[in-house]
Amino acid sequence: MHINTREEEIAFHDQTGYWLWEPATGLIMQTVAIPRAQVVLAAGHAKPDDTKLVLTAERGKTDYGICSTTFLDLAFRTDAYRIEVDFYDDGSWGYVSDTTLMVRGRDEPFLHRDHNRLKKIAEPDLNPWARIIRDKKAKSGA
């Protein structure tokens, strides 16, 4: 994900990650990595028909937590992350993410809130590995 403002041509925030779901346990995980050298592994639980997901991560936890470089820990320490995702009947989905930061020079935590509602504009394409497998099966007649 690359985030730009209307005024800037380059991204001021960049992140990558994955969503994972274990159907047997209902565990759902989100991994997030940003180039400033921070990673988050957030977790929650969901059933197949759920219309809401809630995932959290906390600094200092060794299972579902937040890990940052020394610079970020000193200047913009991330203490907590929470994302709530809602799926709507029209096929759209929305999220609200809250990140709690301790910014150097401030006495109180800073709550950064991000939210959006997204609408699918096209059917998804298979990832490259799934396409290779599909094409090999088609060629072999399997």
Residue 71 CB partners (closer than 8 Å, separation 6+): 37
**Residue 17 amino acid letter:** G
CATH number, domain containing residue 123: 2.40.128
* Average pLDDT score, the chain: 89
Would you state the pLDDT for residue 37? 85
pTM: 0.79
**Averaged pLDDT, 113-125:** 89
Give the DSSP letter string of 102-133: EETT-SS-EEEEEEEEE---SPPPPPHHHHHH
Whole-angstrom distance, CA of residue 99 vs CA of residue 42: 12
Counts of helices then strands in the chain (DSSP H, E): 2, 10
**Averaged pLDDT, 40-69:** 96
pLDDT, tens digit, 9 for 90 and up, residues 84-117: 999 999 999 999 999 999 999 999 999 999 999 9
Would you state the pLDDT for residue 2? 46
Domain around 123: 2-140
Counted domains in the chain = 1
**Averaged pLDDT, 120-126:** 84
Would you state the pLDDT for residue 54? 98
User: By C-alpha distance, which of 75, 94, 74 is closest to 85?
Assistant: 94
